[in-house]
Amino acid sequence: MGQYEAVIGLEVHVELKTKSKIFCGCPTEFGGEPNTHVCPICLGLPGVLPVLNKKVLEYAIKAGLAINCSIAEFSKFDRKNYFYPDLTKAFQTSQFDLPIAEHGHLDINVNGEIRRIGITRLHMEEDAGKLTHQGETISSSLSSLADYNRAGVPLVEIVSEPDLRSAEEAKAYLEMLKAIIEYIDVSDVKMEQGSLRCDANISIRPVGSKELGTRTEVKNLNSFRSVQRAIEYEIQRQIDQVEEGERIIQETRTWDENKGVTLSLRSKEEAHDYRYFPEPDLTPLVISRDWVEELKNGLPELPEAKKLRLIADHGLPEYDAGVITSSRTLADFYDKTVSLHADYKGISNWIMVELLKLLNAENMEISESKISPEGLAKMLKMIENNTISGKIAKQVFEEMFNTGKDPEAIVKEKGLVQISDEGQINAIVEQVIANNPKSVEDFKAGKEKSIGFLVGQIMKETKGQANPGVVNKLLKDKLNEL
């Protein structure tokens, strides 16, 4: 990129996991036949009176606190007016000038450098309905179908300062934000399911310039991968444009995942002028400091603090601690296993190597696998007391991952118990020595390495079940006798 620097800000929508909608008692539950999770309030019928869900306010305050915002003493809702059929009321109830939380920040770590990213605000709002366009594309379709089950589902929108300088930083910020929200348990934060959504505001400017360039807003970023790819693409597109002497037009663009490009969405829809005004049907909010304090005290240990603790108190490498604490489910799994068997590094290694390998291979979340902290703790004890070897443990682990069976039962069922019986191992040692005279000769001639080959042969004969310590000792004894 050289002489240009990117300036990126993210607008992130997080769906709160309440039972009922933000202003009415309809279920927020995903799915359901179209237009069955609706009532006169979320349908925007005349004369209805919305009332704020207390849980939404509580979750919004918690989220605000977790990202280091100050919580407003006085806050209110406003109407954001625009005419589009995903809205039942021709306005979205949102917050304009007095959001519930402001002036926060998150620290992100990119390539070992800590950067503080400012958070402008967090506000509450309602989700819109879902439109299905009849026809090939939105512009060629003649009509659309509206389902209002999502209308009124509670959201918080978290707006960052334009402090991000690369696609990598944007991804790190989003990952940190996701982890924090997951820890405080106010949302499922699943990008694939739409409970975490991200739009990116992107501009470029010459390095050293303090002025902001004209920005574009990129939408339709449905995965962490697409966030990174779309931002990388858009930065390059803007640089190319400027290099060719063209101006950047302020516009909304959509990310086309298949083509790997951003496309202009310019249309009449761009004539956005939201004409916000205070929502007269909802009362203002006066937030007591006692309640804020109570919610603050109730927050769990957050990812960064947990990571530092695992490094300092458990002696985990920084990278491992970072990976384990990046997701609450993984961190909980670690904590629970540690509470049953305090082998920090052992547990961390099994998570980092075997568990993540299996999860990635199956593209699964840990909650979808059958492995349990109890199972892993028990298996580690079995390695420690020499019931199974580390090598066999990998098989046991995989079986637990797939079936959730007890490790002892697996070992018994598959006959995987470690062989430590000297008589039994001795017989195999003799057999292997007899079958491999060349290696024995090499060893005698001073080639220490050839012992490794012989050990390997013995392990093969015992299907990996021989106790490696006993094998080594007996083999050396025998060879020295020769």
Residues that bind another protein (CB under 8 A): 18-20, 24-27, 33-40, 43, 51-57, 74, 76, 81-85, 90, 98, 131-134, 138-139, 141-148, 267-269, 271, 273, 275, 278, 280, 282-286
Q: How far is the CB of 275 from another protein (least distance, A)?
A: 8
Minimum CB distance to another protein smaller for 137 or for 360: 137
Q: How many whole angstroms separate alpha carbon 233 and alpha carbon 260?
A: 8
CB of 364 to another protein, least distance (A): 31
Cβ-Cβ contacts under 8 Å for 481 (sequence gap 6 or more)? none
Residue 227 neighbours by CB under 8 Å, 6+ apart: 167, 170, 171, 174, 198, 200, 221
Is the Cβ–Cβ distance between 39 and 24 less than 8 Å? Answer: yes
Closest separation in Å from C-beta 35 to another protein? 5
What CA–CA distance (Å, rounded) separates 256 from 248? 19
249 interacts with, out of another protein, Zn ion, none, CB within 5 to 8 A per kind: none
Residue 224 Cβ vs another protein, minimum distance, rounded to whole Å = 29
Q: What CA–CA distance (Å, rounded) separates 345 from 349?
A: 6
Q: How many CB atoms lie within 10 A of CB 367?
A: 8
Query: If contact means CB under 5 to 8 A according to the sort of partner, which of Zn ion, another protein, none does residue 151 touch?
Result: none
Query: Cβ of residue 24: shortest distance to another protein, in angstroms?
Result: 7
**Token digits for 310?**
């695992």
Distance CA 225, CA 479 (A): 56
Inter-residue contact 6 to 166 (CB < 8 Å): yes
Select the binding partner of residue 2 from another protein, Zn ion, none (C-beta < 5 to 8 A, by kind).
none
Residue 200: CB atoms within 10 Å: 27
Residue 32 phi/psi, 5-degree rounding, is: 85, 145
Read off the tokens for 371: 């492995």
- Are the C-beta atoms of 464 and 392 separated by less than 8 Å? yes
By a kind-dependent CB cut-off of 5 to 8 A, residue 52 interacts, out of another protein, Zn ion, none, with: another protein
Nearer to another protein, 282 or 308 (CB): 282
Distance CA 10, CA 312 (A): 32
Neighbours of 32 (CB within 10 A): 13
Q: Write the secondary structure of 274-328 as one string of H (helix), E (strand) and C (coil).
A: CCCEECCCCCCEECCHHHHHHHHHCCCCCHHHHHHHHHHCCCCCHHHHHHHHCCH
The nearest distance, CB 62 to another protein, in angstroms, is 14
Nearer to another protein, 9 or 44 (CB): 44
Count of CB atoms within 10 A of residue 263's CB?
Answer: 12
45 versus 342: smaller Cβ distance to another protein: 45
209 binds, among Zn ion, another protein, none (CB under 5 to 8 A by kind): none
Are 166 and 42 spatial neighbours (Cβ–Cβ below 8 Å)? no
Cα–Cα distance for residue pair 148/38, rounded to 1 Å: 7
Residue 145: name its binding partner from another protein, Zn ion, none (Cβ under 5 to 8 Å by kind).
Answer: another protein
Q: Which is nearer to another protein, 55 or 381 (CB)?
A: 55
C-alpha span between 335 and 273 (Å, rounded): 50
- Residue number with CB closer to another protein (145 or 353): 145
Judged by CB, which is closer to Zn ion: 26, or 117?
26
Closer to another protein by CB, 35 or 68: give it.
Answer: 35
Q: Cβ 17 to another protein, closest distance in Å?
A: 10
Whole-angstrom CA distances from 380 to 338, 391, 469 are: 11, 12, 18
Q: Taking the complex as a whole, how short is the minimal distance between the CB of residue 33 and another protein, in angstroms?
A: 6
3-class state of residue 331 by DSSP: helix
Q: In this complex, which beta carbon is closest to Zn ion, that of residue 44 or of residue 373?
A: 44
Closer Cβ to another protein, 154 or 464, answer by number? 154
Q: How many residues does the chain have?
A: 482
Q: Rounded to the nearest whole angstrom, what is the least distance from the CB of residue 410 to Zn ion in the complex?
A: 50
* Partner from Zn ion, another protein, none contacting 380, C-beta within 5 to 8 A by type: none
Among another protein, Zn ion, none, the one that 51 touches (CB under a kind-dependent 5 to 8 A) is another protein
Q: SS3 of 441, please? A: helix
Q: How far is the CB of 241 from another protein (least distance, A)?
A: 24
Contact 212, 204 (CB under 8 A): no
Contacting residues toward Zn ion, per CB under 5 A: 24, 26, 39, 41-42
- Write out the two tokens for 8: 């990126």
Give 29 or 421: the residue with its C-beta nearer to another protein. Answer: 29
Q: How far is the CB of 121 from another protein (least distance, A)?
A: 17
